[in-house]
Amino acid sequence: MIRAQNLTKVFGELKAVNDVSFTVPQGEIFAFLGPNGAGKTTTIKMLTTLLRPTSGKVEIDGIDPTVHQNEARQRFGIVFQDPSLDGELTAWENMDLHGALYKVPRHIRHERSETLLKLFELWERRNDPVKQFSGGMKRRLEIARGLLHTPKIIFLDEPTLGLDPQTRNQLWTHVKALNQTEGVTVFLTTHYMEEADRVAQRIAIIDHGRIVAQGTPQQLKQQTETETLEEAFLKLTGSTIRDEDASAADRMRNMARLWQGRR
């Protein structure tokens, strides 16, 4: 369903993703783990047509997204690390807009919007502007929106970042249910090792742009002779804290926090 072959992305002198290869079969929950700056988000962006690879091949459901972009985009939904909702619009309007962009017929997208908003416990707030939502509610709405066009694949880029344990638990319960009942392939990144251990069927660990290990959580623990996935992760990537320069995106996020305040 998802295939990356010798995928590389170079920014100037920096090789953000270096010769990465993996395959995710249909119906699998696949986790992509790595420290800050390892190349996780860059990899997702190449898979989802937001970045052009420097070299290598990508396939989404048999389609090359670098050549047939719109066809590939129809196949997946994505929940970004940073919110991508329009805060001035209501939950319902965000859903409706997404459905229109994905060419879901009006009566079908209204039916599905209602079903998904009820599933993610947002139906009562459907007519409220999203800027009034908590972080957890926004995440739930993003996932609901990402599923509106019934994609075969869903990309989740750090979907539980900043959420409380109850909301995180609820999110993963929904995601696992979707995987089991509808066979949706899930590609996720997360910093929370216990989540990856609980949810993912296979894991790839990336560091400095390269995949350092791949396998089931159990295989990774056996390979590193550790008890927990976190220990395996630290053994494979080291325990040095990674410093990163603030990107333009980070600077603008900080500006947004000053102007808008946290919700």
Partner 1 sequence: MTAIYILWLRQLKRYVRSRSRIVASLGQPLLFLVALGFGFGPIFQRAGQGNYIQFLAPGVIGMTVLFTSVFSGVELIWDRQFGFLKETLVAPVPRILIMIGRTLGGATVAIIQGFIVLAICMAAGFRPSAIGGLPAAIGFMALIAILFTALGTAVASALDDFQGFQLVMNFLVMPIFFLSGALFPLMGLPKALSIVASIDPLSYGVDGLRAALIGLSHFGSAVDLAVLAVLSAILLAIGGYMFARIQL
**Is residue 252 part of the contact set for partner 1 (CB under 8 A)?**
yes
**Is residue 108 part of the contact set for partner 1 (CB under 8 A)?**
no
End-to-end CA distance of the chain: 37
**Is residue 249 part of the contact set for partner 1 (CB under 8 A)?**
yes
| Residue in 73, 139, 140, 202 binding partner 1, rule: CB under 8 A | 73
- Two tokens, residue 238: 């080291």
**Is residue 121 part of the contact set for partner 1 (CB under 8 A)?**
no
**Is residue 212 part of the contact set for partner 1 (CB under 8 A)?**
no
CB 40, CB 32: distance < 8 Å: yes
**Is residue 74 part of the contact set for partner 1 (CB under 8 A)?**
yes
How does DSSP assign 191-248, residue by residue?
S-HHHHHHH-SEEEEEETTEEEEEE-HHHHHHHHT-SSHHHHHHHHH-SPPPP-PPPH
**Is residue 51 part of the contact set for partner 1 (CB under 8 A)?**
yes
Residue whose entry in the numeric block shows the structure tokens 């249909």:
26
What lies within 8 Å, CB to CB, of 217 at 6+ separation is: 196, 197, 200, 203, 229
**Is residue 15 part of the contact set for partner 1 (CB under 8 A)?**
no
- Cβ distance to partner 1 smaller for residue 35 or 99: 99
Beta strands in the chain (DSSP E): 2-11, 14-24, 29-33, 55-60, 76-79, 153-157, 185-189, 202-207, 210-215
| Span of 96-104, 171-179, 181-189, 234-242 interacting with partner 1 by CB under 8 A | 96-104
- Cβ distance to partner 1 smaller for residue 12 or 165: 12
Q: How far apart are CA 29 and CA 34, in angstroms?
A: 17
Residue whose entry in the numeric block shows the structure tokens 């790839």:
204
- Cβ distance to partner 1 smaller for residue 133 or 233: 133
- Cβ distance to partner 1 smaller for residue 70 or 240: 70
Min dist CB 171 to partner 1, Å, is 19
Min dist CB 258 to partner 1, Å, is 12
What's the sign of the alpha-carbon dihedral 198, 200, 203, 208?
negative
**Is residue 85 part of the contact set for partner 1 (CB under 8 A)?**
yes
Q: Which residues bind partner 1 (CB under 8 A)?
A: 45, 48-52, 69-71, 73-74, 76, 78, 80, 82-86, 88-89, 93, 96-98, 100-103, 129, 248-249, 251-253, 255-256
